Amino acid sequence: MIKERQIIYKKELATNIYEMLIEAPKVARAAHAGQFVLIMVDEKGERVPMTLVDWNPEVGWIKIVYQEVGTSTIKLSMKKVGDEIYYIAGPLGHPSRVSKFGNVLMVGGGVGIPALYPIARELKRLGNRVITVIGAKTSNALIYEKEMSEVSDEVYITTDDGSKGIKGFTVDAVKLLLNNGEKFDAVWAVGPALMMKAVAEVTNGKIPVSYSSLNSIMVCGVGMCGACRVTVGNKTLLTCVDGPEFDSYQVNWKELTIRLQAYKKEEMISLEMLKGAGKV
């Protein structure tokens, strides 16, 4: 008998990048593309947002993909199949505003690619022509190529070192597509803030509809703390209850980048403590 919040599957997709299936029937039955969950690994843990990559309402599992970057994700990786996660709440945030646009460009970087996957799948299901650009530092770090291929009409790959596909960033491939005269009705970008910002800059004025899924630091996830606030079109909005997807052309990217750095020092202290405890 599988218990709620139990890990039922775990796989290392690339160095330090993991895919995990967790029993969460209440979340799975209500989930939509673009939404996320908040996870606390244990009772001393942080509340960490994780985008829903996939879910099965009948069987009751959810899938997340994450990269080990700090204390919370390292602690999550230390959990084994069969272990329980202390807390999962969701689905949270607004679903992606998907519809039949026509030609849609999907741009994903790093662990943003799996987060992009359910949105692309939904857009494909709705009859859009889905053109996908995915990128990673190097070919070994590239994940979800197969999954994205299954839901895309064309897939372009970029690597920073040129070990696979086009040498460069995802935005370089986007520029190439636009320069070749490709026309798109909508674009979704999910990845590091700098990537989403760069994509917004080159598509602005060329693609009418543009969404980015923001990765703001969150605490509550339900709209009461304001930690994840972001300026969109000169209004202060909350990523958790007003997003997580916003019009890329309206987001104040500079401010988002500033706020993402707020805890750099504390993140190091926490990591040192975890290492000092001999757990890693």
Partner 1 sequence: MSKIGHRLEPKTRPPEIRKKDFEEVELTISPEEAIKEASRDIKFCAAPCSFRGCPVNVNIPGFLKKVSEGDFKEAYKILIQNTPVPSITGRVCQQEIQCEGQCVLRRVGEPIAIGAVERFVGDWALENNIEIPVTSEKKHKKVAVVGSGPSGIVAAADLARMGYDVTMYEAFHIPGGVLAYGIPEFRLPKRILRKEFERLQNLGVNIELGVVVGTTYTIPELLKDYNAVFLGVGAGRPIFLNVPGENLAGIYTANEFLTRVNLMKAYMFPEYDTPIHVGKKVAVIGAGNTAMDAARSALRLGADVYVIYRRGRNEVSARAVEFKHAEEEGVKFIFWAAPVEFESNDGINVSSIKLMKMKPGEPDRSGRPRPVPTGETFNFDTDMVITAIGFYPNPLIPQMTPDLKVDDHGRVVVDIEGRTSIPRVYAGGDIVTGESTVIEAMGWGRRVARTIDKDLQKI
Residues of this chain that interact with partner 1 (CB under 8 A) are 26-27, 30, 35, 40, 43-47, 71-72, 75, 86-92, 219-227, 229-231, 236, 238, 241, 255, 258-259, 261-263, 265-267, 269-270, 273
Q: Which is nearer to partner 1, 149 or 262 (CB)?
A: 262
Which of residues 208 and 223 has its CB atom nearest to partner 1 in the complex? 223
Residue 181 CB, nearest distance to partner 1 (Å)?
A: 39
CB of 147 to partner 1, least distance (A): 25
Kindly compute the dihedral angle of the four CA atoms of residues 229, 220, 99, 171, in this order, to the nearest 10 degrees: 50
Minimum CB separation of residue 156 from partner 1 in Å reads 34
Nearer to partner 1, 143 or 218 (CB): 218
At its nearest, how many Å lie between partner 1 and the CB of residue 198?
20
**Which residues, including other chains, have CB under 8 Å from residue 276's CB and lie 6 or more apart?**
none
User: Measured from the CB atom, is 15 or 261 closer to partner 1?
Assistant: 261
Give min distance, CB of 225 to partner 1, in A: 4
Q: How far is the CB of 182 from partner 1 (least distance, A)?
A: 36
Phi, psi dihedral angles at 4 (to 5 degrees): -60, 140
Q: What span, in angstroms and rounded, lies between the C-alpha atoms of 55 and 64?
A: 9
Say whether the peptide bond before residue 91 is cis (omega within 30 degrees of 0): yes
Residue 182 or 267: the one with the smaller Cβ distance to partner 1 is 267
Beta carbon nearer to partner 1, 99 or 257: 257
Q: Nearer Cβ to partner 1, position 46 or 122?
A: 46
Edge-to-edge strand order for the sheet containing 166-167? 166-167, 154-159, 129-136, 103-109, 186-190, 209-213, 245-247
- Cβ neighbors of 214 (< 8 A, separation 6 or more) are 193, 196, 228, 230, 239, 243, 244, 245, 246, 251, 256
Q: How far is the CB of 79 from partner 1 (least distance, A)?
A: 14
